[in-house]
Amino acid sequence: MDKINVKEFDWSKLRKCQNQGSLSTVYIQDDICIKILDKLYPSEREQILDKFLAMNGIKIDGVIFPKDLIVQDGNLLGYTMDYFQDSTSLNDYFTTTRFVNCKDIFNAVIKASEILREIHKYDIKVQDLSFENILINNQGEVKYIDIDSCQYQNYESYFLSNILHKYMFDYRKQEFCNMTKNTDRLSFLLAFYNLMYLKELQNISDKKYNQLSNHISTLNNIKRLANHLKDKNKRITSIPYMDDLINRDDDYTIKRNNCSLLIKRLARKI
């Protein structure tokens, strides 16, 4: 992992990526993606720099790691990474059309879950785990991005997925959330439910749940787990990896409600 001075870039030749991070600005040049951490404090960028150096040499299929570090006056400004051509987030890929087959969703989710297993083998906690940070292309390839938000060894992270924050702090009213591999799996499961129902788990009624679970055995098989997580008085138990929960024989075309799709599109613009 080399260091590149920010002055080496010709910013006039860069174009902004369509999907931007909440705390960064992302550019594209040919097959390289450039992420500038311009909305982080210097101390936050310094910690990310130390973490990247500690992670140098780790390679995981399905994870886009930094290639080169971009520095300014010796301080980390951002980093470059491979650009995943013609890709979009799992959320956008499966929630922008009215009809989608659950088999297609499950194939992508299984791949993402298997990658998560590999990530955990290196004792990396993704932490900011959402289906916005997992990309898919038209060939069905799946890759994790935004690895700067992960927790590794003693290097903690300032980031937390929005869906986990809403569940743990807004819904369960917890004051502290210890980030573990299990919270990664919980985030993944919450993201899965949000993708299937276009609603957060805590807002899915029994009637709404059954509308799909009556046709999709995977959802029926994990209904007890869903009810357990919706009960704020029950302790969160060990969450399995999603690839252990999915029935590969499920084959049902989901018909999205036009109103739900509109709400989803408007939410992405806010």
- Tens of pLDDT, residue by residue, the chain (270 residues): 788 877 777 777 788 877 666 778 888 888 888 998 888 888 888 889 999 999 999 999 999 999 999 988 888 889 999 989 888 999 999 988 889 999 999 999 999 999 999 999 999 999 999 999 999 999 999 999 989 889 998 888 878 899 999 999 999 998 777 889 999 999 999 999 999 999 999 999 999 999 999 999 999 999 999 999 999 999 999 999 999 999 999 999 999 876 554 445 444 543
pLDDT of residue 257: 76
pLDDT of residue 270: 39
pLDDT of residue 268: 52
- Which value, in Å, is the radius of gyration of the alpha carbons in the chain? 19
pLDDT of residue 28: 87
pLDDT of residue 259: 52
pLDDT of residue 262: 47
pLDDT of residue 42: 87
pLDDT of residue 263: 46
Sorted by sequence, the CB contacts under 8 Å of residue 33 that are 6+ apart come out as: 17, 26, 27, 80, 81, 82, 83, 84
Distance CA 94, CA 59 (A): 28
Residues forming a β-bridge with 183: none
Whose tokens are 């788990």? That residue is 201
Q: Where are the beta strands (DSSP E) in the chain?
A: 2-5, 15-16, 25-29, 32-36, 68-72, 75-82, 87-89, 99-101, 124-125, 134-137, 142-144, 151-152, 253-255
